[in-house]
Amino acid sequence: MAEHLEYEARTVRPYAVTGGRVKSARSDLPLEALVEQMPGAVAGTGLPPEKRAILHHASVGYISVAELSALLHLPLGVIRILVSDLADQQFVRVHTSQPVEVNTGESPALSLSVLESVLNGISAL
């Protein structure tokens, strides 16, 4: 089955796989970011073959974004967009050594003030 999914993924142009998008809502995922399949994503029904292939590989254990790119023979940018889509749909969880930024429109100063408030609250304990 994995060979069939990989074949399907190779037969479609990269820009068609992402719907013409070159960026996702998340900032660029690092190459070493690890992808983990969430428990409810086992079926993956209604997903395109490329996303099903990512879920298939992530179901075995943690797999990096770079490994997915190599296994699926798709450009790294395409894999980043597809993994971001799957994370937004809560099919996968992405683990990075750095926080992955989500484009929420909030200013960095606001985020810093929230962190300072949390730190002050913990210090008060």
* Better-scored residue on pLDDT, 17 or 3: 17
pLDDT tens digits along 60-107: 889 999 999 999 988 888 899 999 999 988 899 998 876 655 555 555
pLDDT in tens, 27-62: 578 888 899 998 877 666 788 889 999 999 998 889
What are the strands, taking DSSP E only, across the chain? 34-37, 63-64, 92-95
Token code pair at residue 75: 């450009």
For residue 9, what pLDDT is reported? Answer: 46
Give the start-to-end residue ranges of the domains of the chain. Answer: 2-124
- Laid out side by side, the sheet with 34-37 consists of 63-64, 34-37, 92-95
